[in-house]
Amino acid sequence: MRHRTPSLATTARKHKIVRPLAAIAAAGATLALAAGPAQAATWSSSDRWASWSNGGYTLYNDVWGSGAGPQTIWANSYSNWGVWSNQPNTGGIKSYPNVSKWVGTPINSLSWVTSGYNVSVPSSGAFETAYDIWDSGNANEIMLWLNQTGPIGPIGSYVTNVSVGGFNWNVYKGWNGSNNVYSFLNTGRSTSGSVDILSVLRWLENNEHWIGNITLGNVQFGWEITSSSGGMNFQVNSYWVSSG
């Protein structure tokens, strides 16, 4: 299994690669610099590569960026988790704490792929709440930005605006040196709701012809954090992915 580790990002443009999963921290809880819910959580860690599996999902702390500060991830379940993150305002993405679920089915063999979320996010800093969706070979990356705060932007160039999957998006197409990146930026700001992921994938296949009948791999959800100076809390209050 692989997880996303973007690199060489600026506050205006991101360049992302995928690499094999780094060595993972042991499951023992580490409570350092934690805030609020982490103190009583079922699992917690401050290791940058920490992971924890629950209910068919895997959580990753994923602190990968250059000059990153401390970050503690905590979880009671795959649908109730969060991070306390203290990232300096120096530009470039520092981390992508996320929950990941593997699907492993060609998109034309699927009848639905939907997901629901409810999150609490800071009012300042620089970050976006985002799905990061991959094909099984990590050749195509589809990002769905639900909301964003601060001076951040997607890789690639603006292509079009479309309403699909329950949202109105500005769509960008780019290449990071390793894989195609298709970014959908919500024209509104959402902290709770549901998204029809399969409709987005089929729009990419049938309307734009940017992808074929790819096998859907990991569906990830979390925050790309560029800055959260002084320490900020990000929390998933509920979450699910369903496919069939």
pTM as predicted: 0.86
CA 23/CA 119 separation, integer angstroms? 28
pLDDT of residue 39: 53
For the chain, the distance separating the N- and C-terminal CA atoms, rounded to the nearest angstrom, is 21
Backbone angles phi, psi at 200, to 5 degrees: -65, -45
Q: Are 206 and 234 in contact (CB under 8 A)?
A: no
| Residue from 106, 101, 104, 31 nearest 72 by CA | 31
pLDDT in tens, the chain (244 residues): 334 433 333 333 333 333 333 333 333 333 333 444 545 899 999 999 999 999 999 999 999 999 999 999 999 999 999 999 999 999 999 999 999 999 999 999 999 999 999 999 999 999 999 999 999 999 999 999 999 999 999 999 999 999 999 999 999 999 999 999 999 999 999 999 999 999 999 999 999 999 999 999 999 999 999 999 999 999 999 999 999 9
Q: Cα angle vertex 201, ends 117, 218, to 5°?
A: 60
Measured CA to CA in angstroms, residue 185 lies from 49, 152, 159, 160, 164 at distances of 27, 11, 12, 11, 12
CA 201/CA 115 separation, integer angstroms? 14
Q: Are 108 and 237 in contact (CB under 8 A)?
A: no
